[in-house]
Amino acid sequence: MPSPLGSKREASGEQATGGSPNFHHGFLYLIGCGPGGPQTATLQALETIQRMDAILAPARQARLFEQYIGGTPVPFDPWEGFWDYQGKHFATLGPEVSRLFRQNRAKLLEERLEEIRAMLDKGLDVGLLEFGNPCLFGPGQSYAEQLKPQEVIVIPGMGADAAAMAALKASILPSHDARFLLQAAPFVLTGQGLKPDMSLGEPSPEAQELLSLLAKQEHSAIFYMALADAPRLFELLRRHLPGDLPCAAVYWAGDPERQRVLRGTLDTLPAKLAEDPERFMGLLLIGRFLEGQPFTAAHNRSPAMAEAAHEKS
């Protein structure tokens, strides 16, 4: 049975993090839990979960961390109704029902914020569990940004990007002649914004110019939410990048049971992706870092190493 709501901090005599002894207001903690279960979470995240007076998490995530949540109450799933309406995913809704979905989502957010504020006013600490990095495509910001900055504490977490790079066993930076690492979602990079079905349209002239400028510099890239309209994305990328450019899709990065990798090039990977039913839980990584010895190549090109080689000779 979940224990009744009460401040663990007050019961233990612990001070509020960064606060004064007389500050009895609670905090909302955005807890980065990593891309998997407890095995990809930090000790800081696990210890924070154990100290919370209430936990906000979907049922699946609550089960993954039940050893650390224990009897702490889980008042609600913070994402219920955020991506669906009356049992249907928001991408499948018609115009009128989409309007109702948006109204209902706004209503749910406000109701839950009232509940969170009430707990904070009682001096309770509330932990919202986030998969991955809370500050990189972290939906918990929907709640955190409606509170005062001093009411929010972020516990860093390993993102799916780190797990994906580990799965590929390659140095993404430094890497050969790469000048930078680009991290984006296709709808962000093109400036089109998120559509319900995550489809991509024809980029604006400004977006085309940006893609052209990026392509002129050797770089590596990580794309989030890129598989929903992969054929269109690859068609856009091949306008500016060579077809033999290596790329890989890492599905369920960090999940020990479901993680898998597909490798190819801009020319060959789309056909492989088309055979896989997963259209959301995957990262797309692109760049020459996927071939050869990227770290060693970049290291040997550095002025320091060039001077050392010259002195040796």
- One domain, residues 194 and 215: yes
Which H or E run contains 300?
A: helix 294-301
The beta strands (E) that lie in the chain are given as: 28-32, 54-56, 84-85, 88-89, 126-130, 152-155, 180-184, 219-223, 246-251, 260-265, 282-286
Domain of residue 195, CATH code: 3.30.950.10
- One domain, residues 151 and 26: yes
Please report the pLDDT score of residue 19 as a whole number: 42
- One domain, residues 25 and 57: yes
Please report the pLDDT score of residue 84 as a whole number: 87
pLDDT along the chain (313 residues), means of 10: 58 51 80 93 97 96 96 96 86 87 93 96 96 93 95 96 97 95 93 84 90 94 93 93 97 92 97 90 96 94 70 54
- One domain, residues 178 and 251: yes
Which H or E run contains 273?
A: helix 269-274
Instruction: Count the Cβ atoms, other than its own, within 10 Å of residue 110.
Output: 11
- One domain, residues 211 and 89: no
Q: What angle do CA 216, 219, 221 make, to 5 degrees?
A: 120
What radius of gyration, in Å, describes the C-alpha atoms of the chain? Answer: 23
Please report the pLDDT score of residue 193 as a whole number: 86
- How many domains does the chain fold into? 2
> What DSSP character marks residue 159?
-
- One domain, residues 13 and 148: yes
- One domain, residues 82 and 103: yes
Residue 26 is assigned to a structural domain of this protein: yes
Please report the pLDDT score of residue 21 as a whole number: 42
Please report the pLDDT score of residue 247 as a whole number: 98
Residue 302 is assigned to a structural domain of this protein: no
Q: Coil, strand or helix: which one is 128? A: strand
Residue position matching structure tokens 């002129």: 216
Range of the domain at 167: 162-297
- HSE at residue 108, side-chain half, CA atoms within 13 A, is 17
Residue 279 is assigned to a structural domain of this protein: yes
Which phi and psi angles does 63 have, rounded to 5°? -65, -40
Residue 303 is assigned to a structural domain of this protein: no
- One domain, residues 127 and 171: no
Q: Which two tokens stand for residue 229?
A: 């309209």
Please report the pLDDT score of residue 68 as a whole number: 98
Please report the pLDDT score of residue 7 as a whole number: 66
Residue position matching structure tokens 């790469």: 178
Q: Note the pTM of the prediction, 2 decimals.
A: 0.85
> What DSSP character marks residue 34?
B
- One domain, residues 198 and 216: yes
Burial of 4 (0-12, 13-18, 19+ CB in 10 A): exposed
